[in-house]
Amino acid sequence: TFMSAGSRADANYNVGTAIERYGDQDDAVVWYDRALKYDASHDLASDALERLKAVPDDETLPTPQTQLETPDG
């Protein structure tokens, strides 16, 4: 089955997003980087990679689940 470079980039970006949601930022970086190898102009992967690489090693970003929590519960 043939996938275009853009489709492969999207697939790798989507895997990175799923992995990041589960809190594994290091592995997410690997997948975002793979997406950019298929399509260097993939804006979403580029933005995600830049955001994660800007975080100091001793800090973690809140997962999307944490960001959605409300003070009431």
Q: Express each pLDDT in 1-60 by its tens digit.
A: 567 877 999 999 999 999 999 989 999 999 999 999 999 999 999 999 999 988 776 666
pTM above 0.75, yes or no: no
pLDDT at position 35, please?
Answer: 95
Quote the CA–CA distance of 17 and 32 in Å, as a whole number.
8
pLDDT at position 65, please?
Answer: 41
Q: How confident is the model at residue 62 (pLDDT cuts 50, 70, 90)?
A: low
pLDDT at position 69, please?
Answer: 43
For residue 40, give the nearest of 62, 13, 15, 21 by alpha carbon. 13
